[in-house]
Structure 1
C-alpha cells in the first residue's frame, strides 16, 4: 500500500512539475494591444488567443525551457523562449504586410499569399472590423476584381470576371467547407443565411477557374469563409447596430442588426460554440415604369408592360378577340374590322402593392469540437439554420418570405487530412412569384376572356360613336377595369392571400420546394511523408441532388428527382532553386451520371526574385467546367413571358402543357379539329423556330440542342511584391470558353412541323404558338480578358491607403450564334480606394472607401437595360474602450446620397447610416 501511495505521489509531483502557466500581453509597434493573436506551443497544437486587451494565459504540460510562437494576421510572426514556470511576458509584433498573410484556398494547404500560385484576395478580422459597410459581407466589394450586385438589402451576389446574374451559378461560396448554394435555386443567397460576423475568422477569394481542386461550378471564382474555432476563441461576445436606410422611393426606414457568440473550451479535449444574429429592415423599393416592350412610351400604350409592374404581361390580339365575339354572335358581323390588329394588355399592379419590402435575416449555428487525444485530431459537428425574407430577381421578381435553409456537417480532420459530409436542406417557406401574383389577382377578380371581351366590345361601341382610337382605348380599359381590386382594401388583401398560398401557377403564385443536397469530401496531404521530394495531396467528393418541388418548379409531379456526381483529384507541389521556384500541378476528374466525365488540369509556376525575396512572379494555365444546374436540366415552369423547360432527356416528355381556345385562333382550331392542343417540352428543342429569326421576318428552325457541360481554359500572369513602402499586386487573365451554357427563346407552333413550309408558318401568322426558353450551349466563339492592379501603402503618420483598378472585356463572335445572350453584366473599368487609420489618436480610428464603376449593359431573363456609371463613398469612425472591451462605431454607406443600381430591374440603392457597439469581439 505504501508503495502504491508513494508511486501516486511521485506521479502527481511529476505532473505538477510539468505544468507551466505563462501569462502575457501582445502589443503592436505603437504599444496597442492586439486582440485575437494566436499563441502556440512550438511543435504542438496546444494554444490560445489574446483577449480584447491583448492579454493571454497559456498552461502547458511541459517544463521550461520551450518556445511559444505568437502570430496575428497583418503582423510578422514572433517567437519567445519560456525559461521559467509562471513566467509573464510582453511580446511585440512588428506590423507586416498583406504578403505575409497565410492562406489555404489556393492550394488546399497553408502558404503565404506572397507565394500563391494563382490570384487570391483575403479579407481578415482586421478588415472586417474596419469596413465602413454596415455588414462585413458588403465590405468584400472593396476587394479588387470583385463585383457585388445588389438584389436586396439582405441579398448581395458576389462575382468575379464577368458573366454575372443574380442566379450566379458560376461562383461558389464555401462556409467552413460547406457549399452555401440553395440546391433548388442553384446559387448562393449572399450572406442572407450564411455566417454571423462575430464568428468570421477569415475570408479568402479565388477569382477565376478553380475546378482542378474544387470541382464543378468553381468556374468564375470561389469564396471561402472560415469560422473561429472555440478552442482558440472563447468567451461571450456581442454586437448591435441600428440606423436608417434612406431611398427616394421608400423614404427613411429603421433597420437593426444584432448578434451574440458564445464559445467555451471545457477541457483540452472538448469545446463548443453557438452563434445567433438577427437583422430586420426595409428593402429598396423597385419602381421602374419603363415599358419593356416599347421603351419610351408610357401607360397610354394599350400594350403597356411595365418593368416593375405585374399582371400587364397578359396580352392578346384584340382583333382576334373581336373575331371570337363575332363568331359567338356577341358582336355584329364585320365589327372585328373596327378593332386594331394589335395586342392589348391587362392593367397591372405596382410591385410595391405586391411586396411588403420587409427584409429579414435570422441565423443560428452551433458546433461541438472534440479532440480525443488533446492534439490536432479533431471531430466536429456543425449545424447551421437560417431563415430569411428578401427579394430575388431571376426570370421574374420573387419575394422569398421565410425562406429556410439548414446544413448539418460531420467532419474529422487533423493537419494532414479531413473527411467531411454534410446535408443541405431548403424550404421555400411562404415565397411567391410577384409576376404571377399580379396576374392571378387580376384573374381571380375577372378572367381574361371576360376582361378582353369587355374591352373589345367597348372599343367597338366607342369607335362607332366617333371617338378617336386613343379615346376608345382609354374608355375600353376603364370599362373593363370597373370593379378592379384596389390595393389596401380587404378584398384585395383576401385575393392576395389566396393567390400567394396557391402553388398552381394557373391560379396562384406560391413556391413550394423542399430540395436537398448531400455532399461528402475527403482530402489527404502527404507532405509530412513526401516533403523531401514534393508536397502531394489527393482527394475526392460525391454529391447527390434530391429535387422536390411537387411539380411547382421542376417536373417532379410524381415524386422527387434524384441524380448524382463525383470527382477525384491530386496535386503535386515542388520547390527548387533554393526554394525560389515553386511548381504546382493539379488534375481532377469529375463525372455526373447525366454526362460524360471531364478532366480539369492546372499548372502554375512561381518564382521569387530579389535579394530580400520580396518580388514574386507567377504564371498559370487552368481549366474549369460547369455542369448544367438543376434548373437547366429539370425545370418546367411558366414565367409569363416564356415557358422554361430543362433539357435532361427524361425531362423533355414530362413537361406537357395544354393550350385552350382562348390561346388558339379560330383558324387554328379549325386546322387542329379541336379547341385545345397538348405541347410537350421536347418540341422546344426539336420543333421550334428561332425567336430572333421570326422577329427579323425570316423564320428558321432553332438550333437549340440539349445542354452539355460548359468549359473554360484560363491563362493568367501575375506579380506580387514590395517596393519600399508599397505592396503591389498585378494580374492579367485570358479566358477561352467552349460549350458556353446559355438560354435561347424559341417559338413552338401549335400545329405543323417546322420546315414543312406551310402549316408551321401559318401558325406563326395566326399567332398560334408559345414562347419557350430552351437551355442549350452556344456555338459562339467566346473569350474574355481582363486585368487588376492593386497598390497598398502606409503613409507618413501610419495612414493606410489602398487603390485598385479592374479591367474586364468580352470578346464575342456574334455571327456564329445571333440568339446568344452573353449576360456578361460587368463594367469595363472599375476603380476602388480605401483610406484610414486604425489609431489616429488614442483608441480612435476611421476608414473610408470609394468605388467608381463604368457604365455597362445588363442582360438577363427579367429584363435588359443600361446601368449608368456610379460613384459611392462609405465611411466609418470607431472608438475603443479597452476597460470595457467595447468598440463604438458609426458610419454610413453611399453618404453622397446619389442613388444608383447595379442591375436593370432592381430598386435604386440609397444610403444607409448606422451606429453600433461590439463587446469582447476578438
Structure 2
C-alpha cells in the first residue's frame, strides 16, 4: 500500500494544474431543491451532481469563461455562463421530460449524457430510489428495460441481461465503488446480500451487453455499477426503518424488517468520514415442490420417487428381486428403488438475514480534487443458494478493503475481496448422510428386498391379488420395513444427526462446505485529454488480479493446500467528436492474459451521430469483441453433487480429483477387485455421452478441456427527445464461439469407452459414474434481441412503457448434451405510472411487469417457467420540516405466486411501510 501511495503522489506531480471552482444551488420553480441534478461542462465530459439540498461544487481545469449545462429528469435543461473563478450560481429548472440528459460514467469510463452514450445503458438515481415500488432499491432494478432479476431467495436476487445465466451468473459483473462484488470462490455476485446500503447509493448504472474492451473478462454479458455518496458532498445522519409482512402459501404470513443508518461528516475541506449499517431479516420463500421431474405424474407411492424439493431420495438402485432370491428370471422381476427422502423444510433454516457495514475515510491533502480513499466493507448473510444443489448459507461473510487515489483525470486502486462460507451446507447431502447415519444404503436396500419378495409372492399366492396389486402392497411394506429406525424431523435423534452431518466437510459422511477463497486486485485509469489540449478524450488503463482458492477440498481440488493463479490486462480508448460535435467516434482495445491461456485482444468501435436542429435525435452503431475466462470452478472444482461429480478442466486439475468406487459383484468377477480409483481425467478421455447411454446406444466421447469463451457483439440504437416523449430503442446480435458450458458424461469403472466389450459390461452392471465436465461448444451459438422504451409526462403524471425481445439461435438437435442455460423469456413488457407530487408532498408510483414463459436450464433442475404478471405499487408522503419521507407499498400485490427458476420457492407478496429521515 505504501508503494501505491508513492506512485500516486508521483502521478499527482505530473497532472497538477490550476483549478476553477464553481458552487451553486439547483431548485425547481417552487424553490424546492433538486437532488441528483447533473451539472456538466458544455463541450467536455466533465461534471458533478447536486446533493440532497440541491447544492453542488464543481472543479475543473478549464479557465473562465465557459458554460455549464444543468439538467435533471423531469426538468428542462438550463445552460448558465461562468465568468469567474469561485463564482456562485443559483439555477432554476422548469419541469419537462429530459430523461436522456442524465449523466453516466460506465459506458466510456468518463462522464457523458445517456443521449450520447456509445452503447445501451440504464441508470437508476436518487429520484428512482425514492419512487421505487420494490421493497429495496436493488429489487427496483427489475423495472429497467432489458434487465431481468432471478429471485433465488428473499435476500439473494441475481441480475441478468441478454440471457445465458443461472443464479451463478458469472457472465455479469457488479462493481461497488469500483470494487468487483463477485464472491471469489462462488464466482458470481450474491445480489445485494453483502453490497451497498440504500442510504449510501448515489446512482446505479447498468450496461446490458459485452463490455470486455474496457472492463476485461468479467464484463462479458453485462455490468452493473453502484456508486456511493461522497461524504464531502452528502453529510449528516440519515436513517430508514421498514417493516412489513411477506405472504406465501407455503410459508404463511411472516414479519419482515429492514433498518439502516448512515453518518457522514466533513471535518474540514481535507478530511471526511462516513459509515453505514443496514440490517434486514425475514422469512425466506419456502421451496416445497413435490414434482418428480424424472417421472412426471409420480408421487411418493412410486418406488423410484425423486421429488424436486425432497432430498435423499436421489440415492437409488435397481433391485433384481429374482437374482436376490435365486428365483427364475421373471418370477418377481426387478425395479428401481430410491431411499425415502426428507423435505427441504426439514433441512433448511428459512430465517433470511443480511447485515452490511462499511466505513470510508476520504482525504484531500491539497483541498482540491486529489482524493485518497480508504474503504472497508463487510457483509454477513443467511440465505438459500441454488446451484448444483440447494445450499443453506448461514453466516456467510464477505469483506472488501480498498485503498484508492484519484482526481478528475486518473484513479489508482488496490483492493482485496475475501469470503468465508460460515456454517453453509448442502441440503441434499445433509439428507443423504442423515439417512446413512442410521442405516447404510446396503442394509436399507437389503431389508427392502427381503420384505418385498415374500410379500409380493404371498399377495399373489395367498391373497388372490393381481401382480400389479401385489406389487403396490409389497413396495409399501418393503419401504416401511426398511425405514424402521428412520430419524424423524423434530426429534433429538434427527437433530443430533443433522448437527453432526452439517458440521462435517467430507461429503461422503457430511454436508458442510468450506470456502475461504479470496482475490487481490489492482487497477488504474488515466485520462490524457488535458495533456493534449482536449483534442480528444484519450484513456489508458490496466489491471492485475491474483486468485487464492481455499476450500479445504470441499469445493475445489485443494486438499493439499490453496491453489493460486493470476491474470492481467491493459486497455486504450480514444473518443473524438467531429462535425460541430455531432459525430462521436469511440475506439478502444484491451489485451488480457490468464496464466492458463493465450492472451486475448478485445476491440470496440462505435459511431454516434446527433441529428436535428435541436440536436434531439441520436443514432449509434457499435461492434466489439469480448471474451470470458473460465471461472475458478470451471478450472478447479472437484465436487460430488449427487447426481454427478463436477470436475474442472484446468490441465493441472484433471489428475487431482481421485475417487474410489465400489464395484458390483458381477463386475468383481470380471476385474477381480471390489473397488476402483477413478481419476477426473477419465470424465474427459474415457467416457460415454449421457444421452447415448440413456438411449441404449452408448457412444464414446472425448471432451476437450476448457478455453476462454468469445463473443462478437453488434449493436445499433436510436435515442430521441420529441416534445414530451423520450424514445430509446436498441437492437443487438451476439455471436459466441468456444461457448463455455457443461457436458455430462458417463465413466465406466473398467474397460475403455468405445471398446465394444468390457466398458459396455460396466454400464450393464451399473458400474459407472456420471460426471459433469467443463468444456466449449463445437458449434457457434448466436442470440439476438432488442428493447424499446417510451417515457413521457401527461400533465404532472409520469408514464413509461418498454418491451424486450430475446432469442436464442442454437441447433440443440445436433448437440443434445450441450447446455446453454439461456434462461430468458422471449418477450417482456414493463410499464410504470406515477406522480411525484399528486398534491402537496404526496406522490405515488405503480410498476407492471409481464414475462413470457421460458425454459429454465440449470444443474439443479430443468423445466418450464410459466408466464407471470406482477404489479407493484407505493405511495409516499414527504414532511420537509422533519426531512422525512413516509412510504407504504407492496410488491406482487395481485398475490399470484410465481417463480423465475425451477426448484426455488414461489415468490409471494411483500407489503411494507417505511420511514426515511434525510434521504
Decide: shared fold, TM above 0.5.
yes
1:693 aligned partner: 692
Distance 1:310 1:237 in 2: 45
1:785 aligned partner: 784
Corresponding residue SS for 1:554: coil
Q: Structure 1 stretch 667-676 or stretch 337-346: which is displaced more?
A: 337-346
The 8 Å contact of residues 742 and 818 in structure 2, kept in 1 or not, is answered as yes
Corresponding residue SS for 1:671: helix
Classify 1:256/1:597 alpha carbon distance in 2 versus 1 (closer, same or farther; 3 Å): same
Q: Report Cα offsets for 1:603-662 as digits up to 9, x if no partner.
A: 1100011000000000000111111111110000001000000011111111000012xx
2:34 aligned partner: 34
The 8 Å contact of residues 276 and 364 in structure 1, kept in 2 or not, is answered as yes
The 8 Å contact of residues 46 and 375 in structure 1, kept in 2 or not, is answered as no
How far did 1:563 drift? 0.5
1:395 aligned partner: 388
1:352 corresponds to 2:351 = no
1:364 corresponds to 2:357 = yes
Corresponding residue SS for 1:334: coil
How far did 1:125 drift? 0.8
The 8 Å contact of residues 230 and 273 in structure 1, kept in 2 or not, is answered as yes
- Which residue, 426, 435, 438 being the options, matches 1:442? 435
Distance 1:768 1:899 in 2: 43
Corresponding residue SS for 1:118: coil
How far did 1:50 drift? 4.8
- Which residue, 615, 622, 625 being the options, matches 1:623? 625
1:259 aligned partner: 260
Q: Report Cα offsets for 1:335-382 as digits up to 9, x if no partner.
A: 886553332000000101111211000000010011111111111111
Corresponding residue SS for 1:318: strand
The 8 Å contact of residues 707 and 775 in structure 2, kept in 1 or not, is answered as yes
Distance 1:770 1:832 in 2: 46
The 8 Å contact of residues 36 and 125 in structure 2, kept in 1 or not, is answered as no
Matches within 5 A, 1:591-610: 591-610=593-612
Classify 1:336/1:360 alpha carbon distance in 2 versus 1 (closer, same or farther; 3 Å): farther
Q: Report Cα offsets for 1:740-768 as digits up to 9, x if no partner.
A: 00111100000001121100111111111
Classify 1:676/1:581 alpha carbon distance in 2 versus 1 (closer, same or farther; 3 Å): same
The 8 Å contact of residues 367 and 380 in structure 1, kept in 2 or not, is answered as yes
How far did 1:287 drift? 0.6
1:278 aligned partner: 279
1:423 aligned partner: 416
1:500 corresponds to 2:502 = yes
How far did 1:83 drift? 10
The 8 Å contact of residues 372 and 406 in structure 2, kept in 1 or not, is answered as yes
Corresponding residue SS for 2:240: strand
2:9 aligned partner: none
1:329 aligned partner: none
1:633 corresponds to 2:635 = yes
Distance 1:480 1:333 in 2: 21
2:157 aligned partner: 156
The 8 Å contact of residues 21 and 57 in structure 1, kept in 2 or not, is answered as no
Distance 1:40 1:469 in 2: 79
Classify 1:506/1:228 alpha carbon distance in 2 versus 1 (closer, same or farther; 3 Å): same
1:476 aligned partner: 478
Corresponding residue SS for 2:153: coil
Corresponding residue SS for 1:151: strand
The 8 Å contact of residues 38 and 47 in structure 2, kept in 1 or not, is answered as no
How far did 1:73 drift? 3.9
2:672 aligned partner: 673
The 8 Å contact of residues 392 and 425 in structure 2, kept in 1 or not, is answered as yes
How far did 1:461 drift? 1.8
1:568 aligned partner: 570
1:213 aligned partner: 214
Classify 1:129/1:691 alpha carbon distance in 2 versus 1 (closer, same or farther; 3 Å): same
1:129 aligned partner: 130
Q: C-alpha root-mean-square deviation of aligned residues, in Å?
A: 2.5
1:487 corresponds to 2:489 = yes
Distance 1:717 1:472 in 2: 66
Distance 2:909 2:528 in 1: 51
Distance 2:549 2:96 in 1: 51
Matches within 5 A, 1:691-770: 691-770=690-769
1:9 aligned partner: none
Distance 2:765 2:309 in 1: 30
Distance 2:362 2:47 in 1: 14
Instruction: Please list every run of 5 or more consecutive structure 2 residues that lacks an aligned counterpart in the other structure.
Output: 1-19, 461-469
Q: Report Cα offsets for 1:466-516 as digits up to 9, x if no partner.
A: 251111111000111122111111111111111111111011100111001
Corresponding residue SS for 1:493: helix
Matches within 5 A, 1:484-563: 484-563=486-565
Classify 1:791/1:51 alpha carbon distance in 2 versus 1 (closer, same or farther; 3 Å): closer
**Normalised TM-score (structure 2):** 0.93
The 8 Å contact of residues 455 and 474 in structure 2, kept in 1 or not, is answered as yes
Corresponding residue SS for 1:649: coil
Distance 2:728 2:515 in 1: 44
Q: Report Cα offsets for 1:107-144 as digits up to 9, x if no partner.
A: 11111110000111111111011000000000000000
1:837 aligned partner: 835
Distance 2:594 2:187 in 1: 16
Distance 2:615 2:71 in 1: 22
Q: Report Cα offsets for 1:256-295 as digits up to 9, x if no partner.
A: 0010000011110111100000000000111111112211
Distance 1:70 1:46 in 2: 9
How far did 1:37 drift? 5.2
Distance 1:634 1:279 in 2: 34
The 8 Å contact of residues 780 and 820 in structure 1, kept in 2 or not, is answered as no
How far did 1:844 drift? 0.2
How far did 1:723 drift? 1.4
Corresponding residue SS for 1:594: coil
Q: Report Cα offsets for 1:680-732 as digits up to 9, x if no partner.
A: 00000000000111112221112421111000101111000111211000100
Matches within 5 A, 1:794-833: 794-796=793-795, 798-833=796-831
Distance 1:41 1:687 in 2: 64
Q: Structure 1 stretch 444-453 or stretch 825-834: which is displaced more?
A: 444-453
Q: Report Cα offsets for 1:152-177 as digits up to 9, x if no partner.
A: 00100001111110010100001101
The 8 Å contact of residues 47 and 111 in structure 2, kept in 1 or not, is answered as no
Q: Structure 1 stretch 93-102 or stretch 801-810: which is displaced more?
A: 93-102
How far did 1:66 drift? 10
Distance 2:56 2:119 in 1: 38
How far did 1:90 drift? 7.2
Instruction: Please list every run of 5 or more consecutive structure 1 residues that lacks an aligned counterpart in the other structure.
Output: 1-19, 327-331
Corresponding residue SS for 1:342: strand
**Normalised TM-score (structure 1):** 0.92
Classify 1:58/1:514 alpha carbon distance in 2 versus 1 (closer, same or farther; 3 Å): closer
Distance 2:482 2:337 in 1: 12
- State the number of aligned residues: 884
